[in-house]
């Protein structure tokens, strides 16, 4: 993401704000949203995305068994 921030700081900032808004607890908690994001990343075959969302899911209390 550092390349993204370096080359397009305004877009990176907007993306970060969007992500913060989307992943706030609401009808679904952040952990559930990250688990859904893992599934979407796998379907898109985005290995890096899957790794990022798995790390974030663990930080929100998800376990490998989920």
Question: Cα separation of 39 and 42, whole Å?
Answer: 5
What confidence category does residue 54 fall into, taking pLDDT thresholds of 50, 70 and 90?
very high
What confidence category does residue 43 fall into, taking pLDDT thresholds of 50, 70 and 90?
very high
**Looking at the domain assignment, is residue 17 inside a domain?**
yes
User: Domain total for the chain?
Assistant: 1
Q: Which two tokens stand for residue 20?
A: 């913060």
Residue 36's domain spans which residues? 6-59
pTM above 0.75, yes or no: yes
Question: Cα separation of 50 and 27, whole Å?
Answer: 23
**Looking at the domain assignment, is residue 1 inside a domain?**
no
- Sort residue 61 into left (φ over 0), alpha (ψ -120 to 50) or beta: left
Of 4, 2, 19, 25, the closest CA to residue 53 belongs to: 19
């Amino acid at each position: 993401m550092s390349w993204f921030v370096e080359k397009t700081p305004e877009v990176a900032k907007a993306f970060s704000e969007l992500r913060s808004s989307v992943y706030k607890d609401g009808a679904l908690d952040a952990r559930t949203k990250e688990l859904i994001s893992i599934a979407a990343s796998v379907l898109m075959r985005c290995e890096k995305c899957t790794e990022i969302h798995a790390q974030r899911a663990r930080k929100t209390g998800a376990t490998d068994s989920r």
